[in-house]
Structure 1
Amino acid sequence: MNVSSSTLSLTVADVDASRAFLCTHLGYEVAMADEGFVSLRREDAAVDIVLLRGGTDVLPPEQRDQRAAGLILALTVADLAAEEARLRAAGAPITMPLREEPWGERLFQMTDPNGVVVQLVEWATAADPAPAGNDESTPMVVITPSTGHVTISPNATMTGLAAPSRGSIELSTWTVTMEAGATGPEHSINREQVWTVTTGALEVTCRDRTVKVAVGRTLILPAGRLRRIRALERTEAHVSMPADGVASVPGTEGTRELPWAR
């Protein structure tokens, strides 16, 4: 069998709503259209999509009242963080923020007006082997922040600086921006972290102690301690930790890597 192209056919209640979503946010173009039908395509490797209005007699009788459900349209892209930032700024309905799975898959999800889940995916690649620390061959590296290293969560924006994928060997560093009142989830990190507040102020609860960290002050968070961080006003902070740090969230299994620190 030799497959020359692929098409995903979706039966939806509102063809125009899904067409607008796919064209506006994902760059699809209309190849063909008729009453209750539209064929969409892109000029790259993305799968072609056909949208059919439910009840149309083009479908066999037993399929006419079915709707697209329980499926995910997954598209692999480059520079996933930049795509999420672009879509969030455009008001796209992001229903699962960017995350990284233990097996190296980075992804986030949107849901279109008909309930079709669209997932954008990027696969982590292994960094080139780092030279041994203190070796004469260890290079000096200058890092410029870029949109490709930005991760936006519901509570904060993280901009990656030093990380193993960007030239460091032992440390990861990044900046955190939180709007006033934003509160991160309760979690722990398996490595010590150092936070320096450069703008605003944070309220940090670690175990049964709560402290205020004002601008210009530095907070040391011990490894393995549950903590919750809240911005008392719009706040920016610089964070550093050993490069192999991962997060744990109460009530969930396993650990989570920090994409901006890898």
Structure 2
Amino acid sequence: MQATKVFANLRVADIEAAKGFYAGYLGLSNEEFNLGWVARCSSPDAQASVQLVTRDLTAAEDSVISVCTDDIDGAYAEARELGYEIVHPLRAEAWGLRRFFVRAPDGNVINVVSHPH
């Protein structure tokens, strides 16, 4: 698999309350998107970003990072071939992307995602 971007997924109780710190103090003031349960805040030059997550909408477990790839089908096949635990199966989500969750050998849950082009 080839990762094209990686975003930290930080667990927060309330996205709007958390933005005071992340957008205000840290300067990640550009809100790329906000779905109510997940929002991405980035620096004005888009060099730094973080995703704030209250609870994943469709997955049973939350992920610690989101890894973007241009070949989601290949990444899914490779994870299965290598015997990694698939925590959330590959699917198209209602908000317009395809993703799956895989558990790393250390126990961390990774959201592998492909955005439409």
Tell me whether the two structures share a fold, i.e. TM-score over 0.5: no
What is the TM-score normalised by the length of structure 2? 0.45
Structure whose CA Rg is larger: 1
* Richer in helix (by share): 2
What is the TM-score normalised by the length of structure 1? 0.22
